Amino acid sequence: MRLLLVEDDTVLVQSLRKSLQQAGYAVDLAENGIDAEYLGDENIYDVVVLDLGLPQRSGLEVLRHWRANNNTTPVIVLTARDAWHERVDGFKAGADDYLGKPFHLEELLARLNAIIHRSKQQPGGPLSMGDLTLDEERQTLTTADGNSFVLTGTEFRMLRYFLLHPDRILSKATLTEHVYDFDADKDSNVIEVYVKRLREKVGKDRIVTRRGQGYLFRGKAP
Amino acid sequence: MRLLLVEDDTVLVQSLRKSLQQAGYAVDLAENGIDAEYLGDENIYDVVVLDLGLPQRSGLEVLRHWRANNNTTPVIVLTARDAWHERVDGFKAGADDYLGKPFHLEELLARLNAIIHRSKQQPGGPLSMGDLTLDEERQTLTTADGNSFVLTGTEFRMLRYFLLHPDRILSKATLTEHVYDFDADKDSNVIEVYVKRLREKVGKDRIVTRRGQGYLFRGKAP
DNA sequence: GGGATTTTTCAGCCTGGTTTCAGCTTTGCC
DNA sequence: GGCAAAGCTGAAACCAGGCTGAAAAATCCC
């Protein structure tokens, strides 16, 4: 799950970034409006957390720019305490949700969760696909035959990404980008290793290899 | 399912009441603190949704009054989004959960659901879970083998939070937020220390470590 | 103020999740 | 079939995160 964090308060950024990573997001960071706009234009994020008070170019301008260019990535806006007008402006500019600062991490995570689900399928509920169910709260996978697996962080992030993008070819580079927060390291086979581990749990045939292109997760058991 | 809605914003009340009714709740309404207190004293509700900012008598006072009279009906507190100190006060006064305004209806319904489930398992009385019983008045824990421990303040708050949220991954950040009145201090291992101390009392296997994610309290003894 | 209790910090150790690696198998192409 | 590239796999190395005992710091309570 790839997330763009746009925030210039370096103190806040440090803890926030780590917390978001812990919660399973691959976090890119922009500390000013210009970088933010550029990153948002060039990459596909699952969600953006956008502070409105930014140097160089205000968050509002950035958001308007994206929306004008048909970029519909869900955006959660962070506003200063009491700045009610900012929120209204934010919604008008196309924000999907907002959060007043200071906020509690838990709330941000809940909203991120909600917003991502909303944009994918119906909100709430565990992520399930045919005979597989991924419990996001417990990071646990349950299969048709009643087996239950506790997933490690990386396994979980990767399986979640597969479940959210079934029946599509996902290249190793794409998977790396979404499972980690940095770009693909060409000479590493981590992805292969984790595909193997997931296959042991979801069933060998569930993840199909497309040689030279990537992997494909079957939405329905074969 | 009987619900008491305590809220003075008439605009919000209208839509909220209707939505709650649609969701299957029998909704009673109080628009000020005095009515709320009276209704809560006279009737048995399954759950209360309580706004803290009320005319005549604050939500906090009302909640304290109920708790002082051994009324243990689950209460979800609504607070202004920015006023997180209110939440801390709320928890101290005996709230079971909180929600920052404005909120998504979805979120409220989910929390109501969760809280009712929780209280079904253990309607009123001491907080207990399987073979463990936590006496909230004496801050005392009793285990299956008859051992009894007097808990320190921090131990107690943490164990209570675990008992109220069993079988869920609780990150250190989340635990810190709920055990203390302030946000997580990045480089401290207090949580680990207290987990260790609790484990000595509730049994080592009762609190499971999910490396890199958090801790999980098992609702049922393994 | 001083002793007892509780909370927090610290440092060293341990653990298990992640990554690497080397050798093996499969696939696609000539 | 023969070859090379891509993918698979089991085991080992590495390292961040977690555990723990003890001691320092803060708080409580006479």
Nearest protein residue by Cα to C1' of nucleotide C26: A211
B105 touches chain A (CB under 8 A): no
Å between CA of A30 and C1' of D26: 40
- The H-or-E segment that residue B149 falls in is strand B148-150
For residue B175 the two structure tokens come to 């635990």
The more confident residue out of A117 and B35 is B35
Query: By percentage, how much of chain A surpasses pLDDT 70?
Result: 78
Highest mean pLDDT among A27-41, A76-90, A181-195: A27-41
Binning pLDDT at 50, 70 and 90, where does residue B183 land? low
State the average pLDDT over residues A189-193.
Answer: 92
SS3 assignment, position A111: helix
Asked if A102 and B82 come within 8 Å (Cβ–Cβ), the reply is yes
Residues in chain A: 222
pLDDT of residue A121: 47
Closest CA to B6 of B45, B26, B35: B35
**pLDDT, tens digit, 9 for 90 and up, residues B24-46:** 677 888 888 888 888 888 777 88
Nearest protein residue by Cα to C1' of nucleotide C27: A211
The more confident residue out of B108 and B130 is B108
pLDDT of residue B89: 62
For residue B186, say whether its CB is under 7 Å from any atom of strand C.
Answer: no
Q: What angle do CA A18, A21, A23 make, to 5 degrees?
A: 110
Collect all residues of chain A within an 8 Å Cβ-Cβ radius of residue B106: 114, 123-124
pLDDT of residue A182: 60
- Cβ–Cβ < 8 Å for B178, B91: yes
3-state helix, strand and coil shares in percent for chain B, rounded to the nearest 5: 45, 20, 35
Residues 6+ apart with CB under 8 A from B84: A102, A103, A104, B100
Q: Does residue B217 have a pLDDT over 70?
A: yes
For residue A185, say whether its CB is under 7 Å from any atom of strand C.
Answer: yes
Collect all residues of chain A within an 8 Å Cβ-Cβ radius of residue B167: 138
Q: Does residue A42 have a pLDDT over 70?
A: yes
Asked if A23 and B171 come within 8 Å (Cβ–Cβ), the reply is yes
pLDDT of residue B123: 42
B82 touches chain A (CB under 8 A): yes
- Among candidates B82, B168, B216 on the partner chain, residue whose Cβ is nearest the Cβ of A100: B82
Smallest Cα distance from B102 to chain A, Å: 9
Nearest residue on chain A to B186, judged by CA atoms? A15
The more confident residue out of B209 and A17 is B209
For residue A43, say whether its CB is under 7 Å from any atom of strand C.
Answer: no
Q: Does residue A128 have a pLDDT over 70?
A: no
Collect all residues of chain A within an 8 Å Cβ-Cβ radius of residue B177: 104-106
Could you tell me which residues are beta bridge partners of residue B148? Answer: B142
State the average pLDDT over residues A164-173.
Answer: 85
Q: Pairing mode, if any, of strands A47-51 and A75-79? A: parallel
A140: left (phi over 0), alpha (psi -120 to 50) or beta: beta
Gap between the terminal Cα atoms of chain A = 26
Residue contacts between A and B (CB atoms, under 8 Å): 60
Which residue stretches of chain B are H helix?
Answer: 10-22, 33-42, 59-68, 84-93, 105-121, 153-164, 172-179, 190-202
State the average pLDDT over residues A164-174.
Answer: 85
**pLDDT, tens digit, 9 for 90 and up, residues B72-117:** 788 888 876 555 555 556 666 667 777 767 676 767 877 787 676 6
pLDDT of residue A70: 73
CB atoms within 10 A of CB B139: 17
pLDDT of residue B190: 92
For residue A213, say whether its CB is under 7 Å from any atom of strand C.
Answer: no
Torsion, Cα A205 A209 A210 A211, to 10 degrees, reads -140
State the average pLDDT over residues B189-214.
Answer: 92
State the average pLDDT over residues A153-169.
Answer: 87
Binning pLDDT at 50, 70 and 90, where does residue B5 land? very high
- Among candidates A14, A104, A124 on the partner chain, residue whose Cβ is nearest the Cβ of B84: A104
Nearest protein residue by Cα to C1' of nucleotide D5: A212
For residue B24 the two structure tokens come to 């299957």
Mean pLDDT for chain B overall: 79
Count of helices and strands (H, E) across chain A: 8, 12
Collect all residues of chain A within an 8 Å Cβ-Cβ radius of residue B79: none
pLDDT of residue A120: 54
Residues in chain B: 222
- Cβ–Cβ < 8 Å for B8, B32: yes
- Cβ–Cβ < 8 Å for A193, A145: no
